[in-house]
Amino acid sequence: MIRKFSTSIAMLAIASLGMASMPAAAEKLKFQTSSNASHLSLTILNRDWVPKLKERTQGRWEIELLPIKAVVPHRETPQAVAKGILDGDMTAVSYFSGKDPAFALLGDLIAGWDKVEQQNDYCRNGGGKEMLQKLFAKYFSGVTVIACGAYNKEAFVSKVPIKSVDDLKGKKIRSPEGLAADVFRRVGAAPVSLPTSETYGALEKGVIDGADNSAYSNNDANGMHKVAKFPIYPGIHSMPMFQFTISTKTWKKMSEQDRKTLEDWFYEAYDALTKAIDAEDQKLVARDKAGKDITIIDWPQAERDKFRAIAEQSWADFAKGSPFAKEAFDTQTKYMRSKGLLK
């Protein structure tokens, strides 16, 4: 009897030890992005990178990436994160330009960056992340910036041939509010503020002539080239910065190791995304050049330089808009000069 009792106790102890050693269920984080569900970028992140975070945190954290407007409107993600409706976001910084012109300068320094790697290094090592955190501390309390960066230089979608700066005059262009819209106004275009999810319908109905929209492959996946057959590639204007933010409450629950893992995961994912999107862009561009339905326009360098000179005037004027804008301008131009991107 004693032996049976002792055996039972031993079995219970072993079972308890086994249960104690089992990892707890991963805590799932819900992040809203600024990508449409059909975007190749979101497909790649969900397919290849979402599983890696759970693996790298040994099952402690899992992430769910949702398309634009899945939970809240595209300009309301920070408020939703602060309130706990979302755990975080991975969305375009320029959406919040109405709060402060600094968001516009950080969100997309129009015609500024030559390569994705330059902007990502500015974010990680040149003061970009810290500058963005200052803005969030001021305007979106309760939100922590994990990282920021870009993954592509966007192509330009157009229903009509636009071969030069002068050809932009009088054209209705979908553009984020803020710096991009200001640059397009300066060249004589009429900017129209729309989320990316509404771009196709606006092109189809003739509400706009062209669009600052997304990567060539994303535009192709969304059917843009069915209604806008004169894309400009490589793009002339936009390399949007994306923010990767999280609820400060959730951030505080994480270990230092998991925080570092999450930051590294973002930059590695975006580096892989850059390579994948570029490869897909090149493949699609080659296909469309070989066909007869789409005319791809590549601006000569002289026109690109002319456009950038106009954009630089806009950067400087936006820098006067607030103390934060001046600081955002200064940190970016200082970094760019250190890398030989500006004189």
Helix 116-125, helix 128-139: angle, nearest 10: 60
Q: What is the pLDDT of residues 216-228, one digit of tens each?
A: 998 998 899 999 9
Give the highest mean pLDDT range of 6-20, 77-91, 105-119.
77-91
Structure confidence at residue 24 (pLDDT): 60
Q: Average pLDDT of 242-254?
A: 97
**Whether residues 72 and 106 fall in one domain:** yes
Poorest-pLDDT segment among 53-62, 188-197, 268-277, 298-307: 188-197
| Residue 287 maps to a domain | no
- Alpha carbon distances (Å) from 171 to 42, 87, 165, 166, 226: 30, 39, 11, 10, 19
204-218 pLDDT per residue, tens: 999 999 998 888 998
> Do 72 and 164 belong to one domain?
no
Residue 75 lies in a domain: yes
Query: For residue 132, is pLDDT > 90?
Result: yes
- Rounded CA separation 216/222 (Å): 10
Note whether residue 206 is domain-resident: yes
Measure the CA–CA gap between 283 and 220, rounded to whole angstroms: 11
251 shares its domain with 186: no
Residue 341 lies in a domain: no
The whole domain housing 39 covers 24-153+239-280
Give the pLDDT score at 261: 98
User: Looking at residue 222, which CATH number applies to its domain?
Assistant: 3.40.190.10
What sign does the dihedral 249-253-258-259 (CA atoms) show?
positive
Q: In this structure, is residue 329 part of a structural domain? A: no
SS3 assignment, position 11: helix
Residue 330 lies in a domain: no
Amino acid at 327: E
Confidence category of residue 170, pLDDT binned at 50, 70, 90: very high
The tokens for 162 are 């636009």
**Looking at the structure, do residues 225 and 265 belong to the same domain, yes or no?**
no
* Whole-number pLDDT of residue 10: 47
Assess whether 131 and 89 both reside in one domain: yes
Lowest-pLDDT choice from 10-19, 124-133, 170-179, 203-212: 10-19
SS3 242: strand
Among the listed ranges 19-23, 114-118, 166-170, 280-284, which one has the minimum average pLDDT value? 19-23
Look up tokens 């290094």; give the residue: 121
* pLDDT of the residue at 17: 46
SS3 37: coil
Q: Are 294 and 219 in contact (CB under 8 A)?
A: no
**What average pLDDT does this structure show over 137-162?**
96
Task: Based on the fold, state whether residues 144 and 180 are members of the same structural domain.
Answer: no
Q: Tell whether the model's pLDDT for residue 38 goes beyond 70.
A: yes
pLDDT of 169 higher than 60: yes
Is the same domain home to 48 and 179?
no
- For residue 121, give the CATH number of its domain: 3.40.190.170
Residue pair 328/105 in contact by the 8 Å Cβ criterion: yes
Residues 206 and 140 in one domain: no
Residues 121, 251 within the same domain? yes
User: How many domains would you assign to the chain?
Assistant: 2
- 276 and 163 in a single domain? The answer is no
Do residue 302 and residue 188 come from a single domain? Answer: yes
Among 249, 280, 311, which residue terminates a domain?
280
Residue 342's pLDDT band (cuts 50, 70, 90): confident
Evaluate whether residue 338 is within a structural domain.
Answer: no
Residue 36 pLDDT: 85
Grade residue 70 by pLDDT with cuts at 50, 70 and 90: very high
Q: Mind listing the pLDDT tens digit for each residue in 49-67?
A: 999 999 999 999 999 999 9
Domain contains 104: yes
- pLDDT-based confidence at residue 13 (cuts at 50, 70, 90): very low
Q: Is the pLDDT of residue 15 over 50?
A: no
| Type of residue at 226 | K
Q: Are residues 143 and 205 in the same domain?
A: no
The least confident of 18-27, 265-274, 303-312 is: 18-27
Contact assessment for residue 185 and residue 326, using Cβ atoms and an 8 Å cutoff: no
